[in-house]
Amino acid sequence: MKKALITGINGQDGSFLSELLLEKGYEVYGILRRKSVVDYGNVTHIKDKIHFIYADMTDVVSLIKALNIAQPDEVYNLAAQSFVATSWDQPIATAEIDAVGVTNILEAIRVVNPKCRYYQASTSEMFGKVQAIPQDENTPFYPRSPYGVAKLYGHWITKNYRESFGLFTCSGILFNHEGERRGKEFVTRKITDTVARIKLGLVDHLELGNMDAKRDWGHSKDYVRAMWLMLQQDEPDDYVVATGETRSVRDFAKTAFDKAGIKVEFSGSGVDEIGTDVNSGKVLVRVNPKFFRPAEVEMLVGNPKKAEEKLGWKREISFDQMVERMVATDITLVKQEMRYASQL
Ligand code: NAP
Ligand code: GDD
């Protein structure tokens, strides 16, 4: 039985990866941070199948202990301060977790078991102000946020430990991936959650920032399979994982309303742009400049050719299916919330 240690296990990707590895017969260890309230987050439903270890990416001693307890064959480093907007408010914490934290865990591997294979959660955010379209493994980086800059350090130190010490380290340069377990601060889940609340009459309208921003959106369940495949190869390498399609935030919102049976039409421009319900004439989407970022990544679209050819990876969930799943799940969750509130 293979053993895997996952940092960030209770996050979106950690949960889908845990399910995948458990299905494959792995013994799964996961790192949690100590909080005042015990919270297993996205792995609550499978918590009895996981060995939890309390540790923190900023504390190398705790990571060495975790490696000693788990003795893993594979480490997946998914832990991060992962919300780009927060990285301007907490630039130092972001760097300590997302940049130096990577050195911490690589050092822990070097000390405890240098044969252990390592996956680093790199990101398309490193392409930032894009230097080529589409972006692939050879596209130069130009990060646009403290998060992107910190992740770039994590990316290079992962490569450096491979070249310096011969560790089996891989970076997955993953484009945006979403799903029913996505945090509600990210734009896709914010949209599907608010669409559900509008549909059920709890909220009037949705407020967004830059609706022109374009992203290459896939589903997390497909992307964690690529992480695992990277660690099963004969040689360590870095791979872009993406769909090759790009859509604006406006397109995402339109599709989400569609899936809830609401037709929305956009008009106006800049901060005056609105989205109107074609049937009722009600304004359902407005722009709020508080969601603008100090520097924006305008457009991302990845080329997954290398991952498809070398790993045999292929996504299975289309954009349409993903939005449909997210909207349907949020409608169910909001209905549950309403039932619970009515019983109080
Ligand atoms: P997520 O849902 O925000 O999960 C992040 C995880 O990191 C949480 O479990 C969080 O634990 C943990 N964490 C944060 N700070 C930590 C610390 N100091 N020590 C230990 N754990 C810590 O993120 P995700 O969407 O699953 O993404 C997984 C990874 O992929 C991240 O590294 C992200 O930057 C990267 N990535 C994501 C995407 C995407 O589109 N989703 C794309 C490219 C790369 P708490 O619950 O305690 O906060
Ligand atoms: N969050 C948010 N909220 N974003 C908005 C909003 C809003 O109300 N309105 C417009 N946007 C725009 C943002 O300005 C950005 O251009 C885009 O929507 C996507 O924002 P997020 O969903 O927050 O994701 P992200 O692209 O910044 O970062 C995600 O993807 C990266 C990979 O490219 C995160 O998952 C990162 O951790 C990941 O590395």
The DSSP-derived string for 9-35 is: TTSHHHHHHHHHHHHTT-EEEEEE---
Report which protein residue has its CA nearest ligand 2's atom 36: 82
Pocket test for ligand 2, best of 186, 254, 291 (most atoms within 8 A of CB): 186
Cβ distance 257 to 264 under 8 Å?
Answer: yes
Q: What is the pLDDT of residue 126?
A: 99
Report which protein residue has its CA nearest ligand 1's atom 29: 78
What is the number of the ligand closest to the CA of 219? Answer: 1
User: What's the pTM?
Assistant: 0.98
Cβ distance 82 to 90 under 8 Å?
Answer: no
Q: What is the pLDDT of residue 157?
A: 99
The dihedral through the CA atoms of 67, 70, 74, 77 has a sign that is negative
172 burial type by CB count under 10 A (0-12 exposed, 13-18 middle, 19+ buried)? buried
Cβ distance 327 to 192 under 8 Å?
Answer: yes
Q: Which of 27, 1, 28, 2 lies closest to 15, judged by CA?
A: 28
Q: What is the pLDDT of residue 139?
A: 98
> Which residues' Cβ are closer than 6 Å to ligand 1?
7-8, 10-14, 31, 33, 41, 56-58, 78-82, 97, 121, 123, 174, 176-177, 183
Cβ distance 110 to 162 under 8 Å?
Answer: no
Secondary structure (H, E, C), 252-290: HHHHHHHHCCCCEEEECCHHHCEEEECCCCCEEEEECHH
Q: What is the pLDDT of residue 344?
A: 81
How many alpha carbons lie under 13 Å from residue 300 in its C-beta half-sphere?
28
Q: What are phi and psi of 290, to 5 degrees?
A: -65, -15
171 lines ligand 2 (CB under 6 A): no
What atom of ligand 1 comes closest to residue 15's alpha carbon?
A: 26
Distance, in Å, from the CA atom of 177 to the CA atom of 241, rounded to the nearest integer, reads: 10
Q: SS3 helix, strand, coil % of the chain, rounded to 5?
A: 45, 20, 35
Distance, in Å, from the CA atom of 221 to the CA atom of 218, rounded to the nearest integer, reads: 9
Taking the centre of ligand 2 as the mean of its atom positions, its distance from the CA of residue 209, in whole angstroms, is: 10
What atom of ligand 2 comes closest to residue 293's alpha carbon?
A: 14
Q: What is the pLDDT of residue 24?
A: 98
Report which protein residue has its CA nearest ligand 1's atom 47: 33
For residue 324 the two structure tokens come to 């449909």
Each residue's pLDDT, cut to its tens digit, for the chain (344 residues) gives 999 999 999 999 999 999 999 999 999 999 999 999 999 999 999 999 999 999 999 999 999 999 999 999 999 999 999 999 999 999 999 999 999 999 999 999 999 999 999 999 999 999 999 999 999 999 999 999 999 999 999 999 999 999 999 999 999 999 999 999 999 999 999 999 999 999 999 999 999 999 999 999 999 999 999 999 999 999 999 999 999 999 999 999 999 999 999 999 999 999 999 999 999 999 999 999 999 999 999 999 999 999 999 999 999 999 999 999 999 999 999 999 999 999 88
Report CA 186 to chain centroid distance, whole Å: 9
* Residues labelled catalytic: 123, 125, 147
